Structure formats: structure tokens, C-alpha cells
Structure 1
Amino acid sequence: MEFQISGKAKKSIITAAVVGLILFLVGVFTNNEPEYLKSRVISNFLIDSLFFLFISLGALFFLALQYATETGWSVAIKRVLEGVSSYVIIGAITVCAVFAYLSFTDGGYTVNDHGHHVGHVYEWMDHHMVENDAILQGKSGFLNKTFFWGATIVYFAIYLLFYRGFRKRSLQEDLEGGTKLHFKNFAKAALFLVLFGYTSSTFTWHWIMSIDAHWFSTLYGWYVFSGMWLTAMVCTMLLIMYLKGKGHLEKVNDSHIHDLGKWIFALSFLWSYLFFSQFMLYWYANMGEEVVYYLFRFENYKVIFWGMFIINFTIPMLILMSREAKRHAGILIVVCLIIIVGHWTDVYMLITPGVMGEHGKIGIIELGLFLVFASGFVFWVLNTLTKAPLMPKNHPYLDESKHHEI
């Protein structure tokens, strides 16, 4: 039985998208800080477009990792990983659309009633800001529109090219079998991991860290990467639970679920470790140009900032510690949904304080736009899953995966 999106699922997705759009519009028209509205809206478009793009990139990375390590257990969930990573196509479009707007508006600033610029996303895109800022001038070799767009095009060319290659060979393997395509995927995956290891840091410098253009961090790329990898595993888990509930993926057993649960558990610790490492080093050194990033968030976003960390660290640690919890569908679904919200808030904290200053908030504008993007993401991924059998055929390690037991 091949997977098809049910009428009920389509109705639910459309309903969520419509509700999200209504909430977003109500929030826009009832906003009581009009001078910050444009910056709030564009920053939320940037948050959601990057958040869901990151999920697809995390899945693409994990898919390549399975090929490069010749892992057997994950073959049974390979098509789910391909489905999640397919959103890189839409993610590239939405992110580039936001970047194009910001480039056109010289960083997305708004001029208030007093003639001052407020709500910049990328200060370094505005030549007036650069002219009066020695730090921005010193970074202009890296932070300029030409290099930004050139690098962004290279990033997406790499990711789209490798996704297309992995997907094409995966479907071709179903028809041909043998080991030729398997070893080609092995070689291509090794190359992709090298490229992704470098670009996953540099695009975070360009796309996010440059919002706080006077600040810098050597751990930033790894920190963002750990979050995107974790959310990709969470979305993969939720999709598998959904598909199994519909009678699909019958060869995916409790051991596969357990392994994914261990990845979620471990990556939550990795993210927490990198979060604390970055914070601790800056707190210990106590250098003004470094601690300003955290001081501002402590003063203006204390509840959101620490609440996000506590949720993302303690919930997986306390609930997923036991073997039984990693195999319990209900527990896993609840934890995964909490992690999704927690790590969306993480991306929010990376972007909003640098754009909105102390005027950032989470309200119906944020909720509505998240629902719109989430609906589009879910529909695209589910539609991709209808294009091929959910269980691969002729993979060299397929039998091993079907009999995976731990």
C-alpha cells in the first residue's frame, strides 16, 4: 500500500494555514507599535523561513551521514529522511525571497517619526550605517551584498545539487539494485559532509550572526548546527509516528524508534553543551564587546531566553532518559512537539533581539506566521512521500534494517 495524503489530513493542513493567516493578519492590524511593525513582520519571515530550511538541511546531513558510514539500521526510514530534506527546495526559495527584500531595503530598516533608523536586520547592508561605523567598515570585506549573495548562491547550489543526486540515485536503486549506486552514494556523501561541515558554519555567520554585526562567536556555527540536526531528528520521528499510525512503515520496529529516540536525547545534550560552553566562556572572560550579546538578552528577554534553555535541556533529559520512554509513541510525540516549540524559540532568540531591540515579543503575529509556514512544510513533505514507495527496494543493507533489533 503506497502512501497518499488523506482528505482529512489535507483539510487539517488547510485549516491550520487559514487559522495561521487570520491570526497573522489580526496581529498586524491590531499592532500597537506601528513604527516597529515592518521590522517585526520581516524578522518573523526570516525566523520561520530559516527554521524550516534548517530542518531540511539537518535531514539532508543525516541522510548523507548514513550513506557515508554505511549504516544499516536506518535504511527503513531513508524515504522519510528524503521527504524531510526535500523541503530544501522550498526553503531556498523562501529564504532568498526574504534576503532579496532585505537587500532592496538596505537591511530592512524603518525610519521612525524622529528620523532615526530602527529595526535593522542587516545594518551592514546600509551604506549610511557603514560610513559611520568603524567596526562595520572593518568587516565590509566579508559583510557586503556581493559576497553575501555570491556565498548564498553557492550554499544553495551545493545543497540542491546533492539532494537531487541522493534522491535520484535512491529511486534508481529501487529499479536496478546492485552495489554500484550504493558506493556512488557513499562517495558523494563523504564529499557532501566535508562541504556541509564548512558551509554550515559560514552561512550562519552570514545569515544570522551578522544581524549582531558588532559581535562574534567561534562556536556559533556549531551551536546553530546542533539545533538544526536535532529538529530534523524530531520531525523525522513525528513523521514516522504519523505514518505508522496510518498503517505504513510496518518494517520500522521499536528498535528503529529507540535509535531515533537516542539521537534526539543525545543531540539535546549536544545543543545544551554548546549553549553553555559559549555562555560560560564569555561570562568568564567578561570582555565588553563579547558579553554585550548576553547582557542585552538577560535584561530584555530573560524569561524567554532562560525558559528556552530550560525546556530544551531538561525536557529531553528527564523524560527520555529511560529505554521505555524512547519506545513509547505517546511520550515521544509530546516531547518532540515541545522540542519543536523550544527550538523555534531558539531561532527567535538568535534573530529578534538584534532586529527589534527591546521591542521584541511573541504574540499572535508569531504564532500565525509559524502555522502558515508549518502547514506548507508538512504538506510539501507529505506530498514528497507520495512520490515513491516508503520502503526502499534493493538497498544492500535493506534486509539488515528490516531485522534490526537492539
Structure 2
Amino acid sequence: MYTFSNRLKIGSVILMALGLMGMAIGFVSAPSTVEEAKALVAAHDDGHGSGHGEAAAVADHGEAAHGEAAHGEESHGSSHDEHLLHQLQNRPWAALYVAAFFFFMIALGVLAFYAIQRAAQAGWSPLLFRVMEGITAYLVPGGIVVFVILVLSVLHMNHLFTWMDPETVAHDELLQGKAGYLNPTFFLVRAAIFLGGWIAYREISRRLSLAQDKADDHSNFKKNFKWSAAFLVFYLVTESMMSWDWIMSVDPHWFSTLFGWYVFASMFVSGITTIALVTIYLKSRGYLPDVNNSHIHDLAKFMFGISIFWTYLWFGQFMLIWYADIPEEVTYFVTRIEDFKLPFFGMVAMNFVFPLLVLMNSDYKRVNWFVVMTGIVVLMGHYLDVFVMIMPATVGDQWYIGIPEIGGVLFFAGAFIYWVFNTLTKAPLQPTNNPFIEESRQFHY
């Protein structure tokens, strides 16, 4: 039985406390008026020179010129000022949402990997099932937090989803055409169905897994197989819809038919990476004695392979849209390249180039510190991936990695660590009556 060390417990609580302070500072320092927004941008420009706030600085001393170029009306300057205010007010909300979704998607990615192993009746992975079940336990608190953020968005506590503003929809024919799908009530109903289905499968599968340890036959194992196969059908549909609702709809004028797969690849590789990191940590503490370098090697192979798959989807989406050069499509990448150049190309290097170079060699996949180093970089890269998907539509060029962003990551990292490792203490780390447990124990190549 795993024992949650006081050091790890205290560390996770400290992370949550520091993160909570950072997020609180972000919300308290957000401007409440247009004048405060202008002053904040001016102060930032004075301290850092021209940069992210360059476009918004026009609002301080060039509204007339900007309005003349666009519509030649004074009212446009006022609209621009209000847009700037919304961007700056969105920043702590967006930082909170990015971090909350990132750690939730790790648990969801692990759930998909776990269900695949169950449905495929894989022989190599049963020794890792309790690690996966521990990580997926975060679906409950993580899902609740994400759902609360969505509810608060519907209640107009923020401006993350522009299509939720009736006034915006009233002046936008495209959004009016999508109102049958993009409406607050249906949005929350879908979110409840997604979360309810994912959490229900996790709880059912966990219960059957624990029951199998004490059973005299394999009936619970067979039930788990059937539930997992059915869940994967539900997951494939709901994951795509979730990616449209929770991420793509922050840019309601843009869409990509690859987007569901793209988000899936990101959460899948992040989940597998987290399984590897937690497994290596537990082995370093003397647990999971039967897990060997071949298990780590297989996890690293998945990290490598899904990183290539993610890159294929990223490049396919980017290249086709860029080559077609259709204005309503290409603007998505123009915004990210112009205003988010460093994180946009940085996450490609971290999610593709780095794991490609480090994990291509088969021997390196068996070296734990190599896998840990790669895993940390991959997780950071996919956090940036979520950051780049959310921030351009919510905060525009008023972004930078500051206290709210760091606070959000620290808080949810602490909560994730605490919840996962506390769950690992609730049951033996090694299943005892799984029909493939001996094959997993003898797994070598």
C-alpha cells in the first residue's frame, strides 16, 4: 500500500497556497474601468517598451487615427477601448481556465488510455492500472472546477466566450446562424453530459477493478472490458464535441475539421507522459517492484509516437489553412504568429523536435531520467499549446506570462498532485486477480 509522504503532501499544499495568492492578485489587479485599462497598458509599455501592448497603446493617444482608418467614426474608439478593457479583465479568467483545463485534460487523456488498455485486453499494462486509476480520480474535482468556470461564463462573469453576449450575437449574422448549437443552455447541458459520462465510467471501472482483486472468477474483468469498449465510443464523440465547445468556440468565427483530433492528441500524450512520470516516481520510492524498464520503454514509445501524431495533425491543420489562404480561416494563425510567436513556435519545438531527438533512440527510452526530462518538457509544451488555443481570442495582444498564469499552474498542479497521490493510498498499487497480471509481471523484451 502506498503511503502519501508528508513532504509531498506539504509541498502540494504549498503549491496550492502560492497559486491561490497568484490568482487572487490577478483578479484584484484587473481593471474595472476603461481609464484603468488605459493606465495599465501605458504603465506596462513604459516598463517594457513597445511589445504586446503596442496595439492597445493606440487607445491611449490615437483613437481618432485608428477610428478613421477603420470606420471614420468616433464611436469606434469607444468600442476599441471597451474591447481593451474586456481583454485585460479576461486575463486572470483565461489564466485560470487554461490551467484548469490543462490538468483536467491530463486526467481525461489517462482515462482514454486506460479504457483502450482494458478494451484491448493488453497484457503488458495491468501493473500500471492503479497508477492510471489514481490519475483519473482528478476527473471529479477537475471537472467540477471547469464546469463552474463555464457556468460563470454563462452568467457573464467574464468575456471568454463572445457568443454568450446577446448584444454581440444581435450584430453578428454568423453567430445568429450558429445559435441553435451555441446557446448557453444547450452548452451547459452538453457539458454536464460529457462530464457525467466520463466520471461515471471512471467510477464504474474503478469499482470493478477493485472488486476483481477479491473475486473468485473473472466476471468483473469481463464487465470492465464491456464497459470500456462502450465508453470508447462515447468518448470519441463527446471529446470532439467538448473540444468544439470549450476551446474552439472562443474563436466562434473559425473552425477546423481536425480540431477534435488535435485536442485529443494533446491530451493523450500529456496523459501518457504523466503516467510515466508518476510510475517512475513511485518506483524511486520503492513501490511497484514488478514494473521494469520494459514498461517504461513502452510508455516512452507511446510518448514518442503520439508526439509525432500530434505534429502530423498540427502541420496538417496549419499547412492546409495557410496554403488555401481563405481570410476567415487564415486569420486564426495570423493572430498567433503575429502576437504569440514565441509560445506558438516554442510549443512546436517542445512537443515535436525535443521528444523526436531525445526519444528516437530505443535505449534512451529505458533511461528513467531521460524519460522524466522529456516528460517535463512535453507537459510544458502542451500547457503552451492550450495557452495558444485560448489566449489569442480572450486577451489578444495583452498577454504575458505573469503572476496570474504562474499562480494558475501552481494551484492546479498542487491540487492535481494532492488528489492523485491521496487516491493512490486507497488501494494496493498492484492488482492481484487480473488474468493478465502474470504476463505484465513477466513483460520483457
Indicate whether the TM-score tops 0.5: yes
Report the counterpart of residue 345 of structure 2 in structure 1.
306
Q: Distance in 2 between matches of 1:126 and 1:14?
A: 37
1:40 aligned to 2:79?
no
Report the alpha carbon displacement of residue 325 of structure 1 after superposing the two structures with TM: 1.1
Q: Distance in 1 between matches of 2:301 and 2:23?
A: 36
Report the counterpart of residue 17 of structure 2 in structure 1.
18
Note the alpha carbon deviations across 1:324-346, whole angstroms, 9 max, x for none: 21111111111111111110010
Q: Distance in 1 between matches of 2:26 and 2:220?
A: 51
Where do residues 138-177 of structure 1 align in structure 2 (5 Å cutoff)?
A: 138-177=177-216
Q: Distance in 2 between matches of 1:12 and 1:53?
A: 20
Note the alpha carbon deviations across 1:335-390, whole angstroms, 9 max, x for none: 11111111001000010101011112212221121001100001000011000000
> Which amino acid in 1 is paired with 2:297?
H
Q: Distance in 2 between matches of 1:29 and 1:157?
A: 33
> Is the 8 Å Cα contact of residues 100 and 408 (structure 2) preserved in structure 1?
no
Report the counterpart of residue 164 of structure 2 in structure 1.
125
> Is the 8 Å Cα contact of residues 28 and 37 (structure 1) preserved in structure 2?
no
Specify which of 299, 307, 327 is matched with residue 260 of structure 1: 299
Report the counterpart of residue 254 of structure 2 in structure 1.
215
Report the alpha carbon displacement of residue 177 of structure 1 after superposing the two structures with TM: 4.2
Unaligned 5+ runs, structure 1? 110-120
Report the counterpart of residue 75 of structure 1 in structure 2.
126
Report the counterpart of residue 365 of structure 2 in structure 1.
326
Where do residues 3-402 of structure 1 align in structure 2 (5 Å cutoff)?
A: 3-26=2-25, 32-33=40-41, 35=85, 36-105=87-156, 108-109=158-159, 121-402=160-441
Note the alpha carbon deviations across 1:208-251, whole angstroms, 9 max, x for none: 10000000100000000000000001111110011001100000
Q: State the identity %.
A: 38
Q: Distance in 2 between matches of 1:261 and 1:297?
A: 30
Report the alpha carbon displacement of residue 268 of structure 1 after superposing the two structures with TM: 0.5
Query: Which secondary structure does the structure 1 equivalent of 2:217 belong to?
Result: coil
Unaligned 5+ runs, structure 2? 31-39, 42-83
Larger Rg: 1 or 2? Answer: 2
Report the alpha carbon displacement of residue 21 of structure 1 after superposing the two structures with TM: 3.2
> Is the 8 Å Cα contact of residues 177 and 393 (structure 1) preserved in structure 2?
no
Q: Distance in 1 between matches of 2:18 and 2:119?
A: 42
Query: Which secondary structure does the structure 2 equivalent of 1:183 belong to?
Result: helix
Report the counterpart of residue 71 of structure 2 in structure 1.
none
Report the alpha carbon displacement of residue 128 of structure 1 after superposing the two structures with TM: 0.5
Q: 1:213 to 1:247 in 2, by over 3 A?
A: same
Report the alpha carbon displacement of residue 26 of structure 1 after superposing the two structures with TM: 4.8
> Which amino acid in 2 is paired with 1:253?
N
How many pairs does the alignment contain? 393
Report the alpha carbon displacement of residue 19 of structure 1 after superposing the two structures with TM: 2.9
Q: Distance in 1 between matches of 2:94 and 2:281?
A: 31
**TM-score (ref. length: structure 1):** 0.94
Note the alpha carbon deviations across 1:284-315, whole angstroms, 9 max, x for none: 11111110100111111111101111111111
RMSD value, Cα: 1.4
Moved over 3 A (4+): 21-37
Note the alpha carbon deviations across 1:146-203, whole angstroms, 9 max, x for none: 1101111111111111011100000000110422111111111111111101111011
Q: 1:30 to 1:41 in 2, by over 3 A?
A: closer
Note the alpha carbon deviations across 1:239-297, whole angstroms, 9 max, x for none: 00110011000000011000001000101101111000000110111111110100111
Q: Distance in 2 between matches of 1:29 and 1:203?
A: 30
Report the alpha carbon displacement of residue 27 of structure 1 after superposing the two structures with TM: 5.1
Q: Distance in 2 between matches of 1:78 and 1:221?
A: 26
Query: Which secondary structure does the structure 1 equivalent of 2:125 belong to?
Result: helix
Q: Distance in 2 between matches of 1:47 and 1:365?
A: 11
> Is the 8 Å Cα contact of residues 134 and 424 (structure 2) preserved in structure 1?
yes
Note the alpha carbon deviations across 1:102-126, whole angstroms, 9 max, x for none: 11117x23xxxxxxxxxxx111111
> Is the 8 Å Cα contact of residues 23 and 96 (structure 2) preserved in structure 1?
no
> Which amino acid in 1 is paired with 2:369?
G
